Chain A
Amino acid sequence: MNQFFEFVGQRWGSLLFDLYQHGSLVLQCTVLAVVIGVGIGIAVYSSPGGSAIATALTSAILTIPSFALFGLFIPVLGLGVQPAVITLTLYALLPIVRNTIVGLANIDPAVTGAARGIGMHRLGVLTRIELRLAWPSILAGTRVSVQMLMGIAAIAAFAKGPGLGGSIFSGLAAIGSKTAVDRALAGTIGIVVLALVVDGLLVLLGRFTTSPGVRARA
Protein backbone atom coordinates (compact mmCIF):
# COMPACT_ATOMS: atom_id res chain seq x y z
CA MET A 1 0.00 0.00 0.00
CA ASN A 2 2.86 2.34 0.87
CA GLN A 3 4.32 1.78 -2.53
CA PHE A 4 1.02 2.77 -4.11
CA PHE A 5 0.88 6.07 -2.23
CA GLU A 6 4.45 6.77 -3.18
CA PHE A 7 3.56 6.12 -6.80
CA VAL A 8 0.55 8.42 -6.64
CA GLY A 9 2.69 11.07 -4.95
CA GLN A 10 5.28 10.92 -7.70
CA ARG A 11 2.75 11.10 -10.55
CA TRP A 12 0.35 13.42 -8.83
CA GLY A 13 0.53 16.01 -11.61
CA SER A 14 -0.15 13.72 -14.54
CA LEU A 15 -2.77 11.72 -12.65
CA LEU A 16 -4.60 14.90 -11.76
CA PHE A 17 -4.48 15.98 -15.39
CA ASP A 18 -5.94 12.62 -16.49
CA LEU A 19 -8.60 12.91 -13.80
CA TYR A 20 -9.53 16.35 -15.05
CA GLN A 21 -9.66 15.17 -18.67
CA HIS A 22 -11.74 12.14 -17.73
CA GLY A 23 -14.26 14.24 -15.83
CA SER A 24 -14.36 16.94 -18.46
CA LEU A 25 -14.89 14.40 -21.28
CA VAL A 26 -17.73 12.71 -19.40
CA LEU A 27 -19.39 15.96 -18.38
CA GLN A 28 -19.22 17.56 -21.81
CA CYS A 29 -20.68 14.47 -23.45
CA THR A 30 -23.39 14.36 -20.78
CA VAL A 31 -24.37 17.98 -21.35
CA LEU A 32 -24.51 17.33 -25.08
CA ALA A 33 -26.60 14.23 -24.47
CA VAL A 34 -29.02 16.08 -22.17
CA VAL A 35 -29.64 18.70 -24.86
CA ILE A 36 -30.14 16.16 -27.64
CA GLY A 37 -31.93 13.59 -25.46
CA VAL A 38 -34.46 16.01 -23.99
CA GLY A 39 -35.05 17.31 -27.52
CA ILE A 40 -35.79 13.81 -28.78
CA GLY A 41 -37.98 13.15 -25.76
CA ILE A 42 -40.03 16.31 -26.37
CA ALA A 43 -40.39 15.42 -30.05
CA VAL A 44 -41.81 11.95 -29.47
CA TYR A 45 -43.48 11.84 -26.06
CA SER A 46 -46.97 12.76 -27.18
CA SER A 47 -47.26 9.97 -29.73
CA PRO A 48 -47.27 6.39 -28.39
CA GLY A 49 -45.78 5.09 -31.65
CA GLY A 50 -42.93 7.59 -31.60
CA SER A 51 -42.17 6.89 -27.93
CA ALA A 52 -42.22 3.15 -28.61
CA ILE A 53 -39.75 3.49 -31.48
CA ALA A 54 -37.46 5.84 -29.54
CA THR A 55 -37.51 3.60 -26.45
CA ALA A 56 -36.95 0.43 -28.48
CA LEU A 57 -34.07 1.96 -30.43
CA THR A 58 -32.36 3.43 -27.40
CA SER A 59 -32.62 0.26 -25.33
CA ALA A 60 -31.36 -1.82 -28.25
CA ILE A 61 -28.35 0.47 -28.72
CA LEU A 62 -27.69 0.28 -24.98
CA THR A 63 -27.08 -3.48 -25.28
CA ILE A 64 -24.23 -2.99 -27.77
CA PRO A 65 -20.84 -3.57 -26.12
CA SER A 66 -19.10 -0.20 -25.87
CA PHE A 67 -15.80 -1.67 -26.97
CA ALA A 68 -17.46 -2.93 -30.17
CA LEU A 69 -18.97 0.48 -30.89
CA PHE A 70 -15.58 2.13 -30.41
CA GLY A 71 -14.16 -0.44 -32.81
CA LEU A 72 -16.77 0.38 -35.43
CA PHE A 73 -16.02 4.10 -35.21
CA ILE A 74 -12.23 3.79 -35.53
CA PRO A 75 -12.18 3.17 -39.32
CA VAL A 76 -14.60 6.06 -39.86
CA LEU A 77 -13.44 8.64 -37.34
CA GLY A 78 -9.86 7.65 -36.57
CA LEU A 79 -8.37 7.75 -33.11
CA GLY A 80 -8.47 10.13 -30.18
CA VAL A 81 -11.12 12.49 -28.97
CA GLN A 82 -13.66 12.34 -31.78
CA PRO A 83 -14.75 8.68 -31.58
CA ALA A 84 -14.70 8.97 -27.78
CA VAL A 85 -17.07 11.94 -27.79
CA ILE A 86 -19.49 10.38 -30.26
CA THR A 87 -19.61 6.99 -28.54
CA LEU A 88 -20.00 8.50 -25.08
CA THR A 89 -22.71 10.91 -26.17
CA LEU A 90 -24.58 8.09 -27.89
CA TYR A 91 -24.58 5.94 -24.75
CA ALA A 92 -25.49 8.87 -22.52
CA LEU A 93 -28.50 9.61 -24.71
CA LEU A 94 -30.23 6.37 -23.90
CA PRO A 95 -31.21 6.71 -20.22
CA ILE A 96 -31.91 10.41 -20.77
CA VAL A 97 -34.30 9.91 -23.71
CA ARG A 98 -36.10 7.16 -21.85
CA ASN A 99 -36.50 9.15 -18.65
CA THR A 100 -37.55 12.28 -20.51
CA ILE A 101 -40.34 10.34 -22.22
CA VAL A 102 -41.45 8.73 -18.95
CA GLY A 103 -41.25 12.03 -17.06
CA LEU A 104 -43.24 13.97 -19.65
CA ALA A 105 -45.83 11.24 -20.21
CA ASN A 106 -46.51 10.86 -16.50
CA ILE A 107 -47.63 14.45 -15.99
CA ASP A 108 -51.25 14.73 -14.94
CA PRO A 109 -53.14 16.05 -18.00
CA ALA A 110 -55.28 18.15 -15.68
CA VAL A 111 -52.21 20.28 -14.92
CA THR A 112 -51.35 21.00 -18.54
CA GLY A 113 -55.02 21.39 -19.34
CA ALA A 114 -55.39 24.04 -16.66
CA ALA A 115 -52.36 25.89 -17.99
CA ARG A 116 -53.81 25.91 -21.50
CA GLY A 117 -57.12 26.97 -20.05
CA ILE A 118 -55.73 30.13 -18.48
CA GLY A 119 -54.34 31.03 -21.89
CA MET A 120 -50.75 29.81 -21.66
CA HIS A 121 -48.97 29.31 -24.93
CA ARG A 122 -47.98 25.74 -25.92
CA LEU A 123 -44.29 26.63 -25.57
CA GLY A 124 -44.93 28.19 -22.17
CA VAL A 125 -46.67 25.04 -21.00
CA LEU A 126 -43.69 23.00 -22.13
CA THR A 127 -40.93 25.10 -20.61
CA ARG A 128 -42.68 26.41 -17.51
CA ILE A 129 -44.72 23.36 -16.53
CA GLU A 130 -43.97 20.11 -18.30
CA LEU A 131 -40.17 20.25 -18.33
CA ARG A 132 -40.07 21.40 -14.71
CA LEU A 133 -42.29 18.56 -13.62
CA ALA A 134 -40.28 16.05 -15.65
CA TRP A 135 -36.93 17.42 -14.44
CA PRO A 136 -36.42 14.99 -11.51
CA SER A 137 -36.93 12.09 -13.90
CA ILE A 138 -34.58 13.60 -16.50
CA LEU A 139 -31.98 14.19 -13.81
CA ALA A 140 -32.28 10.60 -12.61
CA GLY A 141 -31.57 9.44 -16.16
CA THR A 142 -28.61 11.80 -16.32
CA ARG A 143 -27.13 10.28 -13.16
CA VAL A 144 -27.38 6.81 -14.68
CA SER A 145 -25.70 8.13 -17.83
CA VAL A 146 -22.81 9.73 -15.97
CA GLN A 147 -22.18 6.60 -13.92
CA MET A 148 -22.11 4.50 -17.08
CA LEU A 149 -19.96 6.96 -19.03
CA MET A 150 -17.25 6.93 -16.36
CA GLY A 151 -16.54 3.29 -17.14
CA ILE A 152 -16.99 3.55 -20.89
CA ALA A 153 -14.63 6.53 -21.07
CA ALA A 154 -11.93 4.29 -19.59
CA ILE A 155 -12.29 1.98 -22.58
CA ALA A 156 -11.92 4.96 -24.93
CA ALA A 157 -8.27 5.14 -23.85
CA PHE A 158 -7.69 2.04 -25.95
CA ALA A 159 -8.18 4.12 -29.09
CA LYS A 160 -5.96 6.88 -27.72
CA GLY A 161 -8.82 8.68 -26.03
CA PRO A 162 -8.11 11.02 -23.12
CA GLY A 163 -8.57 10.29 -19.42
CA LEU A 164 -7.74 7.85 -16.66
CA GLY A 165 -8.23 4.78 -18.84
CA GLY A 166 -4.74 5.48 -20.18
CA SER A 167 -3.34 4.72 -16.74
CA ILE A 168 -5.12 1.35 -16.67
CA PHE A 169 -3.93 0.37 -20.13
CA SER A 170 -0.37 1.49 -19.39
CA GLY A 171 -0.45 -0.70 -16.30
CA LEU A 172 -1.51 -3.63 -18.46
CA ALA A 173 1.23 -2.87 -20.98
CA ALA A 174 3.82 -2.61 -18.21
CA ILE A 175 2.94 -6.05 -16.86
CA GLY A 176 5.80 -7.50 -14.82
CA SER A 177 7.23 -4.12 -13.92
CA LYS A 178 7.08 -2.76 -10.38
CA THR A 179 4.57 -0.03 -11.14
CA ALA A 180 2.12 -2.08 -13.24
CA VAL A 181 -0.40 -2.68 -10.46
CA ASP A 182 0.00 0.87 -9.14
CA ARG A 183 -0.86 2.36 -12.50
CA ALA A 184 -3.96 0.23 -13.02
CA LEU A 185 -5.01 0.81 -9.41
CA ALA A 186 -4.54 4.57 -9.65
CA GLY A 187 -6.66 4.71 -12.81
CA THR A 188 -9.41 2.52 -11.38
CA ILE A 189 -9.63 4.23 -8.00
CA GLY A 190 -9.49 7.62 -9.67
CA ILE A 191 -12.51 6.77 -11.79
CA VAL A 192 -14.48 5.37 -8.83
CA VAL A 193 -13.78 8.50 -6.77
CA LEU A 194 -14.63 10.76 -9.69
CA ALA A 195 -17.88 8.86 -10.30
CA LEU A 196 -18.93 9.14 -6.65
CA VAL A 197 -18.07 12.85 -6.43
CA VAL A 198 -19.88 13.77 -9.65
CA ASP A 199 -22.91 11.72 -8.60
CA GLY A 200 -22.99 13.64 -5.31
CA LEU A 201 -22.78 16.93 -7.20
CA LEU A 202 -25.69 15.89 -9.42
CA VAL A 203 -27.79 15.12 -6.34
CA LEU A 204 -26.98 18.61 -5.08
CA LEU A 205 -27.83 20.08 -8.47
CA GLY A 206 -31.18 18.30 -8.23
CA ARG A 207 -31.82 19.91 -4.85
CA PHE A 208 -31.23 23.37 -6.23
CA THR A 209 -32.93 23.04 -9.61
CA THR A 210 -36.08 21.12 -8.70
CA SER A 211 -38.91 23.51 -7.99
CA PRO A 212 -39.97 23.37 -4.31
CA GLY A 213 -43.47 22.14 -5.07
CA VAL A 214 -42.21 19.15 -7.06
CA ARG A 215 -39.65 18.36 -4.39
CA ALA A 216 -42.29 18.35 -1.66
CA ARG A 217 -44.43 15.96 -3.67
CA ALA A 218 -41.57 13.58 -4.34
Chain B
Amino acid sequence: MSTATAQLGERRSERLRIWGQPIAVVLIVAAVLIWAFASELDDIEKRNLNAAVILSLTWEHIVLSIAVAAIVVFVAVPLGVLLTRRWARFAAPFFLAIANIGQAAPSIGVLVLFFLALGGVVNFWVAVGPIAFYALLPVLRNTILGVRSVDSSYVEAGTGIGMSRSKVLFTIELPLAVPYILAGLRTSLVLAVGTATLATFVGDGGLGELIVTGYKLARYPVLVVGAALAMALALLVDWLGGLAERWIGPKGLR
Protein backbone atom coordinates (compact mmCIF):
# COMPACT_ATOMS: atom_id res chain seq x y z
CA MET B 1 0.00 0.00 0.00
CA SER B 2 0.89 3.62 0.57
CA THR B 3 2.86 5.97 -1.65
CA ALA B 4 4.63 3.22 -3.56
CA THR B 5 1.31 1.78 -4.73
CA ALA B 6 0.04 5.20 -5.72
CA GLN B 7 3.16 5.85 -7.78
CA LEU B 8 3.00 2.41 -9.33
CA GLY B 9 -0.63 3.03 -10.25
CA GLU B 10 0.31 6.42 -11.70
CA ARG B 11 3.04 4.89 -13.87
CA ARG B 12 0.79 2.08 -15.00
CA SER B 13 -1.96 4.49 -15.92
CA GLU B 14 0.54 6.54 -17.98
CA ARG B 15 1.55 3.37 -19.78
CA LEU B 16 -2.10 2.47 -20.38
CA ARG B 17 -2.68 5.89 -21.91
CA ILE B 18 0.42 5.72 -24.10
CA TRP B 19 -1.05 2.60 -25.70
CA GLY B 20 -4.76 3.17 -25.29
CA GLN B 21 -5.14 6.74 -26.45
CA PRO B 22 -3.88 6.42 -30.04
CA ILE B 23 -6.07 3.34 -30.44
CA ALA B 24 -9.07 5.28 -29.12
CA VAL B 25 -8.30 8.16 -31.51
CA VAL B 26 -8.14 5.89 -34.56
CA LEU B 27 -11.32 4.08 -33.52
CA ILE B 28 -13.25 7.31 -32.89
CA VAL B 29 -12.23 8.93 -36.16
CA ALA B 30 -12.83 5.78 -38.22
CA ALA B 31 -16.17 4.99 -36.59
CA VAL B 32 -17.63 8.47 -36.89
CA LEU B 33 -16.49 9.02 -40.48
CA ILE B 34 -17.71 5.62 -41.65
CA TRP B 35 -21.01 6.14 -39.84
CA ALA B 36 -21.51 9.61 -41.29
CA PHE B 37 -20.60 8.83 -44.87
CA ALA B 38 -22.35 5.47 -44.96
CA SER B 39 -25.67 7.00 -43.94
CA GLU B 40 -27.95 8.82 -46.35
CA LEU B 41 -27.03 12.50 -46.16
CA ASP B 42 -29.43 15.15 -47.39
CA ASP B 43 -28.27 18.18 -49.37
CA ILE B 44 -27.60 20.38 -46.36
CA GLU B 45 -25.60 17.66 -44.69
CA LYS B 46 -23.61 17.03 -47.85
CA ARG B 47 -22.73 20.71 -48.08
CA ASN B 48 -21.44 20.81 -44.50
CA LEU B 49 -19.99 17.37 -44.32
CA ASN B 50 -17.47 16.57 -47.03
CA ALA B 51 -13.76 15.90 -47.05
CA ALA B 52 -12.83 19.45 -48.06
CA VAL B 53 -14.83 21.13 -45.28
CA ILE B 54 -13.74 18.66 -42.62
CA LEU B 55 -10.08 18.94 -43.56
CA SER B 56 -10.07 22.73 -43.68
CA LEU B 57 -11.87 23.05 -40.32
CA THR B 58 -9.54 20.51 -38.72
CA TRP B 59 -6.59 22.44 -40.12
CA GLU B 60 -7.99 25.71 -38.74
CA HIS B 61 -8.34 24.06 -35.37
CA ILE B 62 -4.76 22.82 -35.45
CA VAL B 63 -3.37 26.20 -36.56
CA LEU B 64 -5.31 27.95 -33.78
CA SER B 65 -3.94 25.53 -31.21
CA ILE B 66 -0.36 25.82 -32.50
CA ALA B 67 -0.52 29.62 -32.45
CA VAL B 68 -1.79 29.48 -28.86
CA ALA B 69 0.93 27.02 -27.85
CA ALA B 70 3.62 29.19 -29.46
CA ILE B 71 2.43 32.30 -27.63
CA VAL B 72 2.18 30.40 -24.36
CA VAL B 73 5.73 29.04 -24.66
CA PHE B 74 7.24 32.37 -25.68
CA VAL B 75 5.47 34.30 -22.95
CA ALA B 76 5.11 31.90 -20.03
CA VAL B 77 8.57 30.29 -20.02
CA PRO B 78 10.60 33.54 -20.05
CA LEU B 79 8.16 35.13 -17.60
CA GLY B 80 8.36 32.10 -15.34
CA VAL B 81 12.16 32.12 -15.42
CA LEU B 82 12.20 35.85 -14.75
CA LEU B 83 9.97 35.38 -11.72
CA THR B 84 12.44 32.94 -10.18
CA ARG B 85 15.38 35.41 -10.36
CA ARG B 86 16.27 36.77 -6.98
CA TRP B 87 15.40 40.38 -7.78
CA ALA B 88 11.97 39.54 -9.24
CA ARG B 89 10.91 36.75 -6.93
CA PHE B 90 8.62 39.00 -4.91
CA ALA B 91 6.39 39.52 -7.98
CA ALA B 92 5.70 35.79 -8.52
CA PRO B 93 2.63 35.52 -6.22
CA PHE B 94 1.17 38.58 -7.89
CA PHE B 95 1.43 37.14 -11.41
CA LEU B 96 0.21 33.73 -10.26
CA ALA B 97 -2.82 35.34 -8.62
CA ILE B 98 -3.73 37.14 -11.84
CA ALA B 99 -3.32 33.95 -13.84
CA ASN B 100 -5.39 32.05 -11.29
CA ILE B 101 -8.27 34.50 -11.48
CA GLY B 102 -7.98 34.39 -15.26
CA GLN B 103 -8.54 30.67 -15.10
CA ALA B 104 -11.51 31.00 -12.77
CA ALA B 105 -13.18 33.09 -15.47
CA PRO B 106 -15.30 31.04 -17.88
CA SER B 107 -13.47 30.54 -21.17
CA ILE B 108 -16.53 31.38 -23.24
CA GLY B 109 -16.99 34.63 -21.31
CA VAL B 110 -13.38 35.73 -21.82
CA LEU B 111 -13.60 34.88 -25.51
CA VAL B 112 -16.88 36.72 -26.07
CA LEU B 113 -15.83 39.76 -24.03
CA PHE B 114 -12.57 40.11 -25.94
CA PHE B 115 -14.48 39.83 -29.21
CA LEU B 116 -17.10 42.41 -28.20
CA ALA B 117 -14.51 44.78 -26.76
CA LEU B 118 -12.75 44.83 -30.12
CA GLY B 119 -16.00 45.80 -31.80
CA GLY B 120 -16.88 42.39 -33.17
CA VAL B 121 -14.19 42.26 -35.84
CA VAL B 122 -13.60 38.74 -37.11
CA ASN B 123 -9.88 38.08 -36.99
CA PHE B 124 -7.65 35.09 -36.34
CA TRP B 125 -5.99 36.77 -33.35
CA VAL B 126 -9.30 37.68 -31.72
CA ALA B 127 -9.63 34.05 -30.67
CA VAL B 128 -5.92 33.30 -30.22
CA GLY B 129 -5.39 36.13 -27.71
CA PRO B 130 -7.91 35.11 -25.03
CA ILE B 131 -7.27 31.38 -25.51
CA ALA B 132 -3.54 31.97 -25.01
CA PHE B 133 -4.25 34.06 -21.91
CA TYR B 134 -6.39 31.22 -20.67
CA ALA B 135 -3.80 28.52 -21.37
CA LEU B 136 -0.90 30.48 -19.88
CA LEU B 137 -1.23 29.42 -16.25
CA PRO B 138 -0.11 25.76 -16.36
CA VAL B 139 3.16 26.58 -18.14
CA LEU B 140 3.84 29.65 -16.01
CA ARG B 141 3.23 27.78 -12.78
CA ASN B 142 5.25 24.76 -13.82
CA THR B 143 8.17 26.84 -15.07
CA ILE B 144 8.39 28.61 -11.71
CA LEU B 145 7.96 25.31 -9.88
CA GLY B 146 10.52 23.56 -12.07
CA VAL B 147 13.25 26.16 -11.71
CA ARG B 148 12.63 26.48 -7.98
CA SER B 149 12.80 22.74 -7.49
CA VAL B 150 16.39 22.60 -8.76
CA ASP B 151 18.60 21.62 -5.85
CA SER B 152 20.51 24.74 -4.83
CA SER B 153 23.70 22.73 -4.39
CA TYR B 154 23.79 22.21 -8.18
CA VAL B 155 23.52 25.93 -8.73
CA GLU B 156 26.25 26.57 -6.18
CA ALA B 157 28.43 23.93 -7.78
CA GLY B 158 27.96 25.63 -11.14
CA THR B 159 28.83 29.03 -9.73
CA GLY B 160 31.71 27.46 -7.87
CA ILE B 161 33.40 26.18 -11.02
CA GLY B 162 33.16 29.68 -12.43
CA MET B 163 29.99 29.56 -14.52
CA SER B 164 28.31 32.88 -15.17
CA ARG B 165 24.72 33.33 -14.01
CA SER B 166 23.29 32.89 -17.48
CA LYS B 167 25.42 29.82 -18.02
CA VAL B 168 24.03 28.34 -14.79
CA LEU B 169 20.52 29.13 -15.99
CA PHE B 170 20.90 27.60 -19.44
CA THR B 171 23.03 24.56 -18.64
CA ILE B 172 21.73 23.62 -15.19
CA GLU B 173 18.46 25.20 -14.11
CA LEU B 174 16.48 25.16 -17.37
CA PRO B 175 17.36 21.60 -18.44
CA LEU B 176 16.41 20.33 -14.99
CA ALA B 177 13.11 22.23 -15.20
CA VAL B 178 12.23 20.82 -18.62
CA PRO B 179 10.10 17.91 -17.34
CA TYR B 180 7.96 20.34 -15.34
CA ILE B 181 7.62 22.75 -18.25
CA LEU B 182 6.63 19.93 -20.58
CA ALA B 183 3.97 18.70 -18.16
CA GLY B 184 2.57 22.23 -18.02
CA LEU B 185 2.70 22.54 -21.79
CA ARG B 186 0.76 19.30 -22.18
CA THR B 187 -2.01 20.68 -19.96
CA SER B 188 -1.94 24.00 -21.81
CA LEU B 189 -2.17 22.35 -25.21
CA VAL B 190 -5.15 20.26 -24.18
CA LEU B 191 -6.82 23.41 -22.81
CA ALA B 192 -6.02 25.20 -26.07
CA VAL B 193 -7.55 22.47 -28.25
CA GLY B 194 -10.62 22.40 -26.02
CA THR B 195 -11.11 26.14 -25.93
CA ALA B 196 -10.50 26.38 -29.67
CA THR B 197 -13.81 24.54 -30.15
CA LEU B 198 -15.37 27.80 -28.94
CA ALA B 199 -13.50 29.92 -31.50
CA THR B 200 -16.38 29.49 -33.92
CA PHE B 201 -18.49 31.81 -31.73
CA VAL B 202 -16.18 34.68 -32.62
CA GLY B 203 -16.01 33.67 -36.27
CA ASP B 204 -12.70 31.84 -36.22
CA GLY B 205 -13.88 28.44 -37.40
CA GLY B 206 -12.32 25.27 -36.16
CA LEU B 207 -14.16 22.03 -35.46
CA GLY B 208 -16.62 23.84 -33.21
CA GLU B 209 -18.15 25.21 -36.38
CA LEU B 210 -19.47 21.76 -37.30
CA ILE B 211 -21.01 21.45 -33.83
CA VAL B 212 -22.73 24.83 -34.07
CA THR B 213 -23.89 24.30 -37.66
CA GLY B 214 -25.22 20.85 -36.90
CA TYR B 215 -27.03 22.19 -33.85
CA LYS B 216 -28.55 25.22 -35.58
CA LEU B 217 -29.72 23.27 -38.62
CA ALA B 218 -30.74 20.26 -36.53
CA ARG B 219 -28.47 18.06 -38.64
CA TYR B 220 -27.05 15.77 -36.02
CA PRO B 221 -24.55 13.90 -38.21
CA VAL B 222 -22.75 17.23 -38.76
CA LEU B 223 -22.77 17.92 -35.03
CA VAL B 224 -21.56 14.47 -34.07
CA VAL B 225 -18.71 14.46 -36.62
CA GLY B 226 -17.50 17.85 -35.34
CA ALA B 227 -17.69 16.80 -31.71
CA ALA B 228 -16.02 13.42 -32.28
CA LEU B 229 -13.18 14.92 -34.30
CA ALA B 230 -12.56 17.61 -31.67
CA MET B 231 -12.52 14.87 -29.07
CA ALA B 232 -10.05 12.78 -31.10
CA LEU B 233 -7.81 15.79 -31.69
CA ALA B 234 -7.66 16.56 -27.96
CA LEU B 235 -6.80 12.94 -27.14
CA LEU B 236 -4.14 12.93 -29.85
CA VAL B 237 -2.53 16.16 -28.64
CA ASP B 238 -2.52 14.88 -25.08
CA TRP B 239 -0.90 11.66 -26.28
CA LEU B 240 1.81 13.57 -28.16
CA GLY B 241 2.37 15.60 -25.00
CA GLY B 242 2.78 12.38 -23.05
CA LEU B 243 5.34 11.11 -25.58
CA ALA B 244 7.22 14.40 -25.39
CA GLU B 245 7.34 14.14 -21.60
CA ARG B 246 8.90 10.71 -22.02
CA TRP B 247 11.44 11.40 -24.71
CA ILE B 248 12.44 15.05 -24.43
CA GLY B 249 14.36 16.39 -21.50
CA PRO B 250 17.66 15.57 -19.87
CA LYS B 251 18.60 11.91 -20.25
CA GLY B 252 19.68 11.57 -16.65
CA LEU B 253 16.22 12.42 -15.39
CA ARG B 254 14.28 9.91 -17.44
What is the number of residues of chain B that contact chain A, defined by CB distance less than 8 Å? Answer: 57
Q: Are A71 and B13 in contact (CB under 8 A)?
A: no
Tell me the A104-145 residues at the B interface (CB within 8 Å). Answer: 105-109, 112
Known A-B contacts A72-B227, A192-B105; the reply to A168 vs B112 at CB < 8 A is yes
Main SS class of interface, B: helix
- In the complex, which residue of chain A has the Cβ closest to the Cβ of B214? A71
**A69 at interface, CB cutoff 8 A:** yes
Q: Are B20 and A151 in contact (CB under 8 A)?
A: no
**B138 at interface, CB cutoff 8 A:** no
What is the number of residues of chain A that contact chain B, defined by CB distance less than 8 Å? Answer: 55
Total contacts A to B, CB within 8 angstroms? 172
Complex-state Cα separation, A159 to B109, whole angstroms? 16
Tell me the B37-69 residues at the A interface (CB within 8 Å). Answer: none
Known A-B contacts A65-B234, A154-B109; the reply to A48 vs B2 at CB < 8 A is no
Q: Give the contacting residue for A63; candidates B9, B14, B238; CB below 8 A.
A: B238
Q: Give the contacting residue for B234; candidates A49, A64, A147, A185; CB below 8 A.
A: A64
Which of B159-167, B176-184, B218-226, B246-254 lies at the interface? B218-226
CB distance from B25 to the nearest CB of A (A): 10
Chain A 48-75 near chain B by CB (<8 Å), digits 1 or 0: 1101110110011001111111111011
Tell me the B165-197 residues at the A interface (CB within 8 Å). Answer: 190, 193-197
Q: Are A176 and B105 in contact (CB under 8 A)?
A: no
Q: Which of B10, B104, B106, B116 counts the most A-chain CB atoms under 10 A from its CB?
A: B106
Q: Are A106 and B3 in contact (CB under 8 A)?
A: yes
Main SS class of interface, A: helix
**A43 at interface, CB cutoff 8 A:** no
Q: Give the contacting residue for A67; candidates B116, B197, B220; CB below 8 A.
A: B197
CB distance from B186 to the nearest CB of A (A): 9
CB distance from B101 to the nearest CB of A (A): 7
**B70 at interface, CB cutoff 8 A:** no
Q: Are A191 and B109 in contact (CB under 8 A)?
A: yes
Q: Which A residues contact B (CB, under 8 angstroms)?
A: 46, 48-49, 51-53, 55-56, 59-60, 63-72, 74-75, 101-102, 105-109, 112, 147, 150-151, 153-155, 158-159, 165, 168-169, 171-172, 175-176, 180-181, 184-185, 187-188, 191-192, 195-196
Q: Which B residues contact A (CB, under 8 angstroms)?
A: 1-3, 5-6, 8-10, 12-17, 20-21, 24, 101, 103-110, 112-113, 115-117, 120, 190, 193-198, 201, 207-208, 211, 214-215, 220, 223-224, 226-228, 230-231, 234-235, 237-238
- 8 A-B pairs with CB atoms under 8 Å apart are A60-B238, A68-B194, A71-B226, A72-B224, A153-B106, A154-B107, A159-B215, A184-B116
